[in-house]
Structure 1
Amino acid sequence: MLKRVAAALLLATALAPVAPVVAQSPAPAAAATMPTIPPKLIVAISVDQFSADLFSEYRQYYSGGLKRLTSEGAVFPRGYQSHAATETCPGHSTILTGSRPSRTGIIANNWFDLSTQREDKNVYCAEDETQPGSSSDKYEASPLHLKVPTLGGRMKIANPATRVVSVAGKDRAAIMMGGATADQVWWLGGPQGYVSYKGIATPPLVAKVNAAMAQRLAQPNPGFELPPQCVSKDFPVQAGDRTVGTGRFARAAGDYKSFRISPEQDAMTLAFAAAAIETMALGKQAQTDIISIGLSATDYVGHTYGTEGTESCIQVDRLDHELGAFFDRLDKDGIDYVVVLTADHGGHDLPERHRLNAMPMEQRVDMALTPKALNAAIADKAGLPGKKVLWGDGPSGDLYFDKGLTAAQRARVEAEALKLLRAHPQVQTVFTKAQIAATPSPSGPPESWSLIQEARASFYAERSGDLLLLLKPRVMSIPEQATMGAVATHGSPWDTDRRVPILFWRKGMQHFEQPLGVETVDILPSLAALIHLPVAKSEIDGRCLDLIAGDGDSCAGQ
């Protein structure tokens, strides 16, 4: 098997080769303290679907970049994407804004706007639906829906010389972390490589990265070696017509889909980020610059193969080594940088494997809870057979009453919907819009919030549904089907999907670990304090985390 490492991809983008990290960097002296001067570069990394469970499961095996962060940095293993709608777009919207979806306006990956004149009422979170012909799956990407500034945006207001760059595997990750005023925003747009919504001509750097990707894609990948820690995971699991659990990411030449759903995608994204830092001399001028990096492969792997097979195990191992090579590249350039690494949400393995591994109660959602089936059943019970009464994007989350209903019809539809849903054995609860709106914004430890408090953290009145349907734990929101697409997913209000690691690192800081719960919205004020950037507490939901172990307070003056 061929073990591909970041060095090959860094070479492909004309950077000096970097050997993969295979051992822990020397630990800093016990007396070391975090520098008080602002770092020159902020590196904010989101690993899509990197749950706290996945982080801790393989922690003892880290030897590369994740080893550095966990053994030398400030470790918050119990971070929370504290809201109920644990999806990619809402999660990324919290990381560098300091705000929950109730403030960012990003309530889900998709929501419904039933007042729009266009045929497609479904709105994508990173879509500019004001563009002619736009739809939720054919759109011009845009930060239009993000209602608050990112850290990069605040830095540019304070100092216009600040450079803000965002690179990711997904458009919504790049856009939600980069924000509306980013200088450059790039994401993997398909076999042609990285693209941007900014409307700028492709610069030489991006052309070179895309050429390197095309060259890599044109070569087959015979697969990755199976690390020792993955051997026990190597058994097949059947889900509908899919067999997963034993993959090595082998792919044929030109197979873009397999490239995207593999460690190769993250390696290329990190190579791009390293090249951007070097070419743009980020972190080499008087001001502090920021680059956000969205690593999407872990999420694609989790949806396609689940989180507990050889595929996910190999992905985490490769992520660790690619991050190690990336950090080594920055070290070699002598940049004073600070890293934060977290995730946009967690994830849950497929029920079929859970049932094999001591969890016989795991199940898939009943087809009767899918929007089409719900609409038919509720319309019949409300005396409106064949009428469109309810809109939804899946068998959980926001549900919307059709705008064409009279007040009396709507009342009947709501009553029948609540009665039907609350009686279903897989439904944990259903909240009405009025119930959620009347709930105060939550505060205090995120691990102690009630479900309605989690729902309130995701609630934005202009976009949220009339009902919020939440499934019980251990119910996968993908129904059982003969032909399976994705086999596993996330999006629930339960801790498997809410909990994520939050890791900070800067050269010279003293390592410590805080096992109590914190939120991803705490990241912005914590980084802002390091660069002495004031942020009004009334404008965000997060709090500054003191990153100095023992005496001293990195939040002093914030």
Structure 2
Amino acid sequence: MLRKVAAALLLVPCAMPAIAQPGAAPAPQSAPATPPKLIVAISVDQFSGDLFNEYRPYFEAGLKRLAADGIAFPRGYQSHAATETCPGHSTILTGSRPSRTGIIANTWFDLKTGREDKAVYCAEDESQPGTSSGDYVASPIHLRVPTLGGRMKAANPATRVVSVAGKDRAAIMMGGPTADQVWWLSPKGYVSYKGVPTPPLIAKVNAVFAQRLAQPSPGFELPAQCAAKDFPVGIGAGKSVGTGRFAREAGDFKVFRASPEQDALTLALAASVIDNMDLGRQGQTDIISIGLSATDYVGHTYGTEGTESCIQIDRLDQELGAFFDRLDKTGIDYVVVLTADHGGHDLPERHRQNAMPMESRVDAALTPKALTAAVGARTGLAGRKLIWGDGPMGDLYFDLSLTPGQRAAVQAETLKILRAHPQVQAVFTKAEIAATPSPSGPPESWSLLQEARASFDPERSGDLLLLLKPRIMPIIDPTKGYVATHGSPWDTDRRVPILFWRKGLRHFEQPLGVETVDILPTLAALINLPVPKGEIDGRCLDLIAGEGDSCAGH
């Protein structure tokens, strides 16, 4: 059965949309009077507003249903400055920004920890003996607020909460600590928390995965809309990207993960879980969150503007269409929300070929190691560890061994170096950010300092926050790993689509800015779940076109 589901999500053709008859009167608005029986919350990792707008004319299936027939907010925002996977996923189903969720980055530093590795991964339990930020025991302990599923289960313990994803941090941050089932993809198949037994359903899915991975793949055909993108872009050392089709040798998990194959498998798992657990078929409303991670891996590995990304979005559209068609056949009354954890920026080498000669890669002088050397030479503290950080962007931490006087000198010299650097847009101190009120109003109008405040946690944030100028890629050498990334405070990384769909809701589009934190109160209103406004940062979005208000009373 699972093999058939997986094959269906890749191969079943999508039904043609109905064609409106000339002169037909518009259908009357008929908002459903009862709560949906199933909430399907989908995050497409690194599905930027730019990608959504670029490929929107070519949507034919699942993405077309959401964008053309649903309620579309094409100018959604992950409104905070730290536009990374873990913070972004922490906002989607909590209604809260990272300043409230506590998930300020994928990795932050705890210099007080007793272990040698001071880095803390957002979804690890660092208290476990022998672990590190790269070899950890997965855990939701760092998430400080409940998810929508957690609130639903607290109100009605019969609620089933399931979260599946291509990444652990996506599954964990959307499912929350009280989810019934949390599964993410690993080289061995889908896994969960330490000690959780593998049920028969997951074992069958993993058998399908192992069988598929063991076979080579010829890749995918190039859709017509991708032909203009089919040219190589050199990244150095004789390497290039931009013309790939996702051909894969047998057993190559890395290529499988960064291809449409991964999302197809995750959607197959989600469909199977819905069937197996009878989600949406009992008295209460259930919720399943689905983290589709391939678009992010594709963007990092190949960039966002080559044939690879173009094929990925085309396949994403088709696979979502088949997934929704399968749900339709169950007769379940379901509501869908689709968004992203962050956006992304293409590699500068291709931008320079395409009318953007100012695009560049970050200067190695901005890495914590280089800054430590430069500041040490200026302060007489050479040879000591002075500055900790995850790279040439984001939070920087001063070593705890510094005396107050040394710390002040290190901060002063670091600020001088950074603020004089031509690639640096801004550097904020911890005190500056802490003194800034939590932002409000349209997210597109926030200042950089307000964006930084939305990502700030007094216990986990650094002593300084380094923000690069736009069009500076914070990867120094693309030949040694990823070619492109995200994480900036600019709209390329902040802006994401937010799309809702439910049978009976009339389509409308709102081009003004909204936030991903608005998703939880919007869905909570549909199921009549009270959420105290003081506990979240988001607001309810009215999903009824024209008169009427789906947020009434919430």
Report if TM-score (shorter chain) is over 0.5. Answer: yes
Q: Distance in 1 between matches of 2:53 and 2:431?
A: 39
Secondary structure of 2:480's aligned partner = coil
Q: 1:83 to 1:330 in 2, by over 3 A?
A: same
Q: Does 1:497 align with 2:497?
A: no
User: Could you give the per-residue CA deviations for residues 313-365 of structure 1, whole angstroms, max 9, x where no partner exists?
Assistant: 00000000000000000001111000000000000000000000000000000
Q: Distance in 1 between matches of 2:162 and 2:3?
A: 19
Q: 1:273 to 1:29 in 2, by over 3 A?
A: farther
Q: Does 1:400 align with 2:397?
A: yes
Conserved? CA contact 1:523–1:542, under 8 Å: yes
Match 2:466 to one of 469, 478, 487: 469
Q: How much has 1:25 moved relative to structure 2?
A: 5.3
Q: How much has 1:20 moved relative to structure 2?
A: 2.5
Conserved? CA contact 1:13–1:275, under 8 Å: no
Conserved? CA contact 1:35–1:509, under 8 Å: yes
User: Could you give the per-residue CA deviations for residues 72-125 of structure 1, whole angstroms, max 9, x where no partner exists?
Assistant: 100000000000000000000000000000000000000000001100000000
Conserved? CA contact 1:25–1:68, under 8 Å: no
Conserved? CA contact 2:9–2:268, under 8 Å: no
Q: Could you tell me which amino acid in structure 2 is paired with residue 410 of structure 1?
A: R
**Which residue does 1:531 correspond to in 2?**
527
> What are the within-5 Å matches in structure 2 for residues 415-430 of structure 1?
415-430=412-427
**Which residue does 1:78 correspond to in 2?**
75
Q: Distance in 2 between matches of 1:121 and 1:381?
A: 25
Secondary structure of 2:543's aligned partner = coil
**Which residue does 1:237 correspond to in 2?**
233
**Which residue does 1:293 correspond to in 2?**
290
Q: Distance in 2 between matches of 1:473 and 1:432?
A: 20
Q: How much has 1:250 moved relative to structure 2?
A: 0.4
Q: 1:10 to 1:343 in 2, by over 3 A?
A: farther
**Which residue does 1:195 correspond to in 2?**
191
Conserved? CA contact 2:160–2:287, under 8 Å: yes
User: Could you give the per-residue CA deviations for residues 365-416 of structure 1, whole angstroms, max 9, x where no partner exists?
Assistant: 0010111111111111111011111101010000000000001100100000
Q: Could you tell me which amino acid in structure 2 is paired with residue 257 of structure 1?
A: K
Match 1:216 to one of 193, 208, 212: 212
Conserved? CA contact 1:12–1:212, under 8 Å: no
Q: How much has 1:199 moved relative to structure 2?
A: 2.6
Q: How much has 1:173 moved relative to structure 2?
A: 0.1
Q: Distance in 1 between matches of 2:33 and 2:513?
A: 26
**Which residue does 2:363 correspond to in 1?**
366
**Which residue does 2:125 correspond to in 1?**
128
Match 1:356 to one of 353, 356, 368: 353
Q: Distance in 2 between matches of 1:439 and 1:179?
A: 29
* Consecutive aligned runs of 4 or more in structure 1 exceeding 4 Å deviation: 12-18, 25-29
Q: Distance in 1 between matches of 2:179 and 2:5?
A: 26
Secondary structure of 1:166's aligned partner = strand
RMSD over aligned CA atoms reads: 1.5
Conserved? CA contact 1:50–1:298, under 8 Å: yes
Report the identity percentage: 78
Q: Distance in 2 between matches of 1:87 and 1:420?
A: 26
Conserved? CA contact 1:34–1:506, under 8 Å: no
Q: How much has 1:22 moved relative to structure 2?
A: 5.5
Q: Does 1:507 align with 2:522?
A: no
Secondary structure of 1:229's aligned partner = helix
Secondary structure of 1:58's aligned partner = helix
Conserved? CA contact 1:267–1:322, under 8 Å: yes
Q: How much has 1:13 moved relative to structure 2?
A: 5.7
Q: How much has 1:17 moved relative to structure 2?
A: 9.8
Conserved? CA contact 1:167–1:293, under 8 Å: yes
Q: Does 1:21 align with 2:21?
A: no
Conserved? CA contact 1:10–1:18, under 8 Å: no
Q: How much has 1:71 moved relative to structure 2?
A: 1.0
Q: Distance in 1 between matches of 2:397 and 2:8?
A: 51
Q: Distance in 2 between matches of 1:14 and 1:161?
A: 32
Conserved? CA contact 1:365–1:395, under 8 Å: yes
> What are the within-5 Å matches in structure 2 for residues 146-161 of structure 1?
146-161=143-158
Q: 1:10 to 1:509 in 2, by over 3 A?
A: farther
Match 1:335 to one of 316, 332, 335: 332
Q: Could you tell me which amino acid in structure 1 is paired with residue 518 of structure 2?
A: D
Q: Distance in 2 between matches of 1:253 and 1:62?
A: 31
Q: Distance in 2 between matches of 1:10 and 1:57?
A: 33
> What are the within-5 Å matches in structure 2 for residues 58-69 of structure 1?
58-69=55-66
Conserved? CA contact 2:87–2:98, under 8 Å: yes
Q: How much has 1:16 moved relative to structure 2?
A: 10
Q: Does 1:382 align with 2:375?
A: no
Q: Distance in 2 between matches of 1:228 and 1:273?
A: 30
Conserved? CA contact 1:163–1:183, under 8 Å: yes
Unaligned runs of 5+ in 1: 1-7
**Which residue does 1:43 correspond to in 2?**
40
Q: Distance in 1 between matches of 2:327 and 2:458?
A: 43
Unaligned runs of 5+ in 2: none
User: Could you give the per-residue CA deviations for residues 233-256 of structure 1, whole angstroms, max 9, x where no partner exists?
Assistant: 000001123310000000111111
User: Could you give the per-residue CA deviations for residues 150-206 of structure 1, whole angstroms, max 9, x where no partner exists?
Assistant: 00000000000000000000000000000000000000011x200001632111110
Match 1:551 to one of 539, 542, 547: 547
Q: 1:101 to 1:305 in 2, by over 3 A?
A: same
User: Could you give the per-residue CA deviations for residues 122-147 of structure 1, whole angstroms, max 9, x where no partner exists?
Assistant: 00000000111111000000001000
Q: How much has 1:261 moved relative to structure 2?
A: 0.7
TM-score by length of structure 1 reads 0.96
Q: Could you tell me which amino acid in structure 1 is paired with residue 168 of structure 2?
A: D
Q: 1:239 to 1:16 in 2, by over 3 A?
A: closer
Q: Could you tell me which amino acid in structure 1 is paired with residue 212 of structure 2?
A: R
